[in-house]
Amino acid sequence: MITKKNISIFEKKIGHSFKNKEILTASLIHPSFTKDHKIKKNIIHSEFERLEFLGDRVLGLVISSLIYSRFISLNEGDLSKKLSYLVQKNFLYKISTELSLNNILKFSFKKQNEKMNVSILADAVEALIGAIYIDGGYKSSIKFIKMYWGPYLNVQASNLQDPKTKLQEISQQKSKKLPAYKLIKKNGSSHSPTFTVSLKVLNLKQIKARGTSIREAEKNAALVALEMFNASKTS
């Protein structure tokens, strides 16, 4: 819900106080909300998509500049791999969960379409970056992107693989079996749910993990399993 109090809390989280609150508001109202609530298409509706377009370009430029400056020994191909990983929709969705964007963004949650929800929240991150750029300029955009992408810039290329894919490859190699994920609980409202999944793999004890989507919960479970597997190799 977009309220003055929520806006103030959100601005502290993103490290930017908007001079023009209307720009921020426009980035927090997804077209799916206006469509499903039969709100007449207006400037705010189209402005989200314009901000998303701009934010995508700003993010690409900032990340490209950061990794170019930091990793002077990487060739063009390796730089491209890092860039692709850091701007892909799944990673943007990860950032949206760190921002708790689903708690303030106005959008229509699709119960039966998880991919659509991931895409919506990823698009909202780009719209937010576009809004920050319009309101505060390039320096403000860099500050925000460094704050949330910075911790991931040093991730090695070998670790860029999706954890579920990596775990599946290890499981098939070691036991000839696929990891078994199972949804065991769903809490919260339809707009802001929390899912809990269990995972059985590689003779490890049963793992439980949570996320704001089944996809995220399964990824978190896979990460725990990989940590347990790596720990068992060194013990």
State the DSSP H helix or E strand holding residue 194, giving kind and residue range, or none if neither. Answer: strand 193-200
Residue 209, CA distances (Å) to 153, 171, 217 in order: 25, 19, 6
Q: 194 near 212, Cβ under 8 Å?
A: yes
Q: Which of 47, 56, 123, 135 does the annotation list as catalytic?
A: 56
Give dist(CA 120, CA 101) in Å, integer. Answer: 11
Q: Which of 47, 52, 123, 126 does the annotation list as catalytic?
A: 126
Question: Is 162 assigned a catalytic role?
Answer: no
Give dist(CA 78, CA 44) in Å, integer. Answer: 39
Question: Is 216 assigned a catalytic role?
Answer: no
Residue 100, CA distances (Å) to 36, 47, 53 in order: 22, 22, 22
Give dist(CA 78, CA 80) in Å, integer. Answer: 5
Identity at 204, one-letter amino acid code: L
Residues with a catalytic annotation lie at 56, 126
